Amino acid sequence: MYESDHAAYQQRPRQSAGILRTLLSVIGLVAMVLVLSWGLRTFVFQAYEIPSGSMEETIKPGDMVFSEKITYYSSDPAPGDIVTFEDPDPDHAGRILIKRVIAVGGQVVDLRDGRVYVDDVLQDEPYTRGEPSFPLTSLPGTTVDYPYTVPAGSLWVMGDNRTNSQDSRYFGAIAERSVTGKAIFIYWPLTDVGVL
């Protein structure tokens, strides 16, 4: 009886040590997953749900989009890119918007008869479905006159749904540094999955 009690006493510390090791392993694994997730979101890609119709029909409300960050570590945004960026409207600080780059620093944007010209060249924009691109009333404190020269280090961005988009026509050119990534892929819903 004494020997079995002694054996049981020896097993309890071993079991406790095993449980502690398992618990520490689980905590370490959870910490590693959280750090990896943070690193991917901060430096590689971010997922966004599209709340409005400003990019229809390219991207629809409710679509889930991946925006990757690696491309712009080695190159600058270019006309045609669909980018995510921080809303320049101070009343919406922290909000992320998604639009298409139309012109970059030094280029001249003009809107004539509902058409977009960059450096005096009429733009072919099939993604707008023929919707007109008229000037908008500017954000208070912002002046957008045409022709508009995009400042160095800035981008002129517009939504594909030109009749339902507050974009550079409203808030002016955006700072390149405000870009958070390049939208590359719709991953949800399955009916809209595809490369942008």
What sign results for the dihedral spanned by CA atoms 37, 42, 44, 45? positive
Radius of gyration of the chain (CA): 26
The answer to whether 163 and 131 are in contact (CB under 8 A) is yes
Alpha helices in the chain (DSSP H): 2-43, 71-74, 168-171
Catalytic residue status for 69:
no
**Active-site residue among 67, 99, 133, 165?**
99
Active-site residue, from 54, 67, 133, 168 = 54
Q: Which of 97, 64, 59 is nearest to 175 (CA)?
A: 97
Residue 138 annotated to the active site: no
Residue 24 exposed, middle or buried by CB count within 10 Å (0-12, 13-18, 19+): exposed
Amino acid letter for position 36: L
User: Under DSSP, is residue 56 helix (H, G, I), strand (E, B) or coil?
Assistant: coil
Please count the other Cβ atoms lying within 10 Å of the Cβ belonging to residue 175: 13
**171 with 89: CB under 8 angstroms?**
yes
Alpha carbon distance 95, 97 (integer Å): 7
Which residues are marked as active site? Answer: 54, 99
